[in-house]
Amino acid sequence: MRQDHLISAVDLSREDIEAVLDRAAEIDANPAAFRQRHAGTVLGLCFFEPSTRTRMSFDTAMKRLGGQTVDMGPVESSSVKKGETLADTVRVVEGYADALVLRHPSEGAATMAADFVNVPLVNAGDGAGQHPSQTLLDLYTIRENAGLDDLTIGIMGDLKYGRTVHSLAEALTNFDVNQHFISPESLQLPRNVRYDLHASGASVKEHTELDEVLPELDVLYVTRIQRERFPDENEYRKVAGEYKIDDETLAAASDDLVIMHPLPRVDEISPEIDDSDHAKYFEQAHNGIPVRMALLDILLSNDD
C-alpha cells in the first residue's frame, strides 16, 4: 500500500490487508485504548455522490480516534456548482485537514486527486471503479465468520458497475479463494477486471444462475443493480429484480453459508433472511467503524 494514499485494492498486498484487519481487531477488542490516539487531527470529507454508511462511518471513526471532521457538504451548496474543478477543491480542503476521504462519480477521480495533495487520501468510491475501504471491512467480516483461506465465494448481482465487486475480487487474489461470479450476461465483469484477475492467477468462474453453484459456497456476496450508472433506463428495467434471495432460494445452501451485502439493498435480499444465521450484512456495515479507524490510524501514524 502506498503509505500516503489508498486508491485501489490493487494497492493492497496480503501483508497490508492483514495489518489493517489485525489493527481493527485490536480496536474492536479495546476501543478505549484508541480513544485519544489522534486528538487534534482533522479529516476532510469530500463526497460528490450520496453516501450514508461510508460517510458516517469515516466521520465516526475519526471522532472515536479523538479527531474531528470537516465536511464540504452537498455538491449543490458547494463551490463545485460555481464551476470549481476537483483539483482545486481537494487542494483547498487539504489546507483544512490532515487527511481526505473522497467519493466521486467519475472513475479515476481519486487517482487524479491524489496527485494534487500532500496528505493521505482514501478513495471512498470513484464511479464504477474502486472502493477499497469497503473491501477492507468486507474482508474483516469474512475473516471473522469464515476465515480468509480455503474458501469458495460467490459474488452476485451487478458485476459491471459494482465498484465494491471490483475491489473485493482484486483483494481476494491475495488469498486461497475460489471466486464464482453470478450475473446476467449484460452485467458480467468488465473485460479489464477479468483480465487483471486472470493475470493474478485467480480461480474465476462465471455463471448466469445462482443454483449452479450455491451448494458449494461458503460466502455469498450480493449486490444491488446499480440503477444510477445505467446510461439507458430501459436496459436497467430488463435486469432489475432478476435475482432475489429468500428462504426458498437457500434450501440448497450450506447451513454455514455467510450472506453479505455492501448495502443499500433494494429487493435482492428478502427481509425474511435478516434474522437468519446466514445474514451478516448489518454486522458488515457495523464493521466499517473499527476497520476505518484502523485504516486512518495506520495512514496518520506513518506505520509501515
Residue 215 shares a structural domain with residue 100: no
Residue 54 known to be catalytic: yes
Residue 107 shares a structural domain with residue 202: no
* Sign of the dihedral defined by the CA atoms of residues 294, 144, 58, 27, in that order: negative
Residue among 201, 76, 112, 215 nearest 154 (CA): 215
Residue 193 shares a structural domain with residue 261: yes
Determine whether the annotation assigns residue 82 to a binding site.
Answer: yes
| Catalytic member of 23, 55, 64, 103 | 103
Q: Residue 87 has what pLDDT?
A: 94
Give me the number of domains the chain comprises: 2
Q: pLDDT per position in the chain (304 positions), as tens?
A: 345 899 999 889 999 999 999 999 999 999 999 999 999 999 999 999 989 999 999 999 999 999 999 998 777 767 776 778 999 999 999 999 999 999 999 999 999 999 999 999 999 999 888 999 999 999 999 999 999 999 999 999 888 888 899 999 999 999 999 999 998 888 888 888 888 888 888 877 999 999 999 999 999 999 987 655 555 655 655 566 667 899 999 999 999 999 999 999 888 999 999 999 999 999 999 999 999 999 999 999 864 4
**What's the CA gap between 77 and 72, in Å, rounded?**
9
Here the cell at position 303 is 506505520
Residue 281 belongs to domain spanning: 133-285
For 247, list phi and psi in degrees, rounded to 5.
Answer: -60, -40
Residue 54 shares a structural domain with residue 172: no
Here the cell at position 231 is 446510461
Residue 206 shares a structural domain with residue 297: no
For residue 238, give the CATH number of its domain: 3.40.50.1370
Residue 53 known to be catalytic: yes
Residue 200 shares a structural domain with residue 254: yes
Residue 82 known to be catalytic: yes
Residue 229 known to be catalytic: no
| Catalytic member of 5, 23, 38, 54 | 54
Residue 151 shares a structural domain with residue 121: no
Residue 187 shares a structural domain with residue 166: yes
Residue 55 shares a structural domain with residue 149: no
| Catalytic member of 5, 38, 131, 143 | 131
Q: Residue 77 has what pLDDT?
A: 63
* Letter string b/e over residues 72-94, b meaning 16 or more CB atoms within 10 A of that residue's CB: beebeeeebeeeeebeebbeebb
Residue 32 shares a structural domain with residue 159: no
Determine whether the annotation assigns residue 143 to a binding site.
Answer: no
Tell whether pTM > 0.85. Answer: yes
Residue 224 shares a structural domain with residue 272: yes
Determine whether the annotation assigns residue 284 to a binding site.
Answer: no
Residue 16 shares a structural domain with residue 39: yes
